[in-house]
Amino acid sequence: MRNFGVSNHTPGQIELLKRSLNQPLVVNQVQLSITHSPLFAAGIAANMAGLDQSIDRDNGLLDYSRLNDMTLQAWSPFQKAFFDGVFLGDRENFAELNDVLDELAAAYGVTPTGIAVAWITRHPANIQVVLGTTTPSRVVESAAGSEIPLTREEWYRLFTAAGHTVP
């Protein structure tokens, strides 16, 4: 039996689709980067009325995926927002984030691209990164970051440098 996945589906959409399938759905590709991370941000700021970050935009997809052993794959891991360019090197809009990326990159001996990948792969949901690049150097830089064990402090430091709130 073959497995397959979906892209940008909510838990309810996945459940509806599963009714018509014999194969298991094992993957859901979602847009995810340090700066575009409502998947994480809503849970971190749960029940914080008045904070936009606390709005659940995907009906608990992260928790659903983990409870149902569905792998999340992060597409556009370097995008600022929805098709709004990359945050890497964008000092006009993300100076603090780029400073932290540069600092951690130097400490771990990788590029800021590697740290951006490490931020995604550090999450306990075991998220896979979909690069969507044909540039060999970007693949090498990203792969170098996939094994970096960011500390929790470093992970949250990147998260807040990207403009998110931690209660």
* pLDDT of 83: 73
- CA-based nearest residue to 29, from 59, 55, 60, 65: 65
Per-residue pLDDT tens digits for 85-102: 999 999 999 999 999 999
**What is the SS3 assignment for 137?**
helix
CA distance 164 to 131: 23
**What is the SS3 assignment for 99?**
helix
* pLDDT of 71: 97
CB 49 within 8 A of CB 18: no
Q: What ranges do the domains of the chain cover?
A: 4-161
Residues of the chain with pLDDT under 70: 1
Q: Any bridge partners for residue 71, and if so which?
A: 27
CA distance 117 to 143: 8
CATH, range 4-161 = 3.20.20.100
CA distance 23 to 28: 14
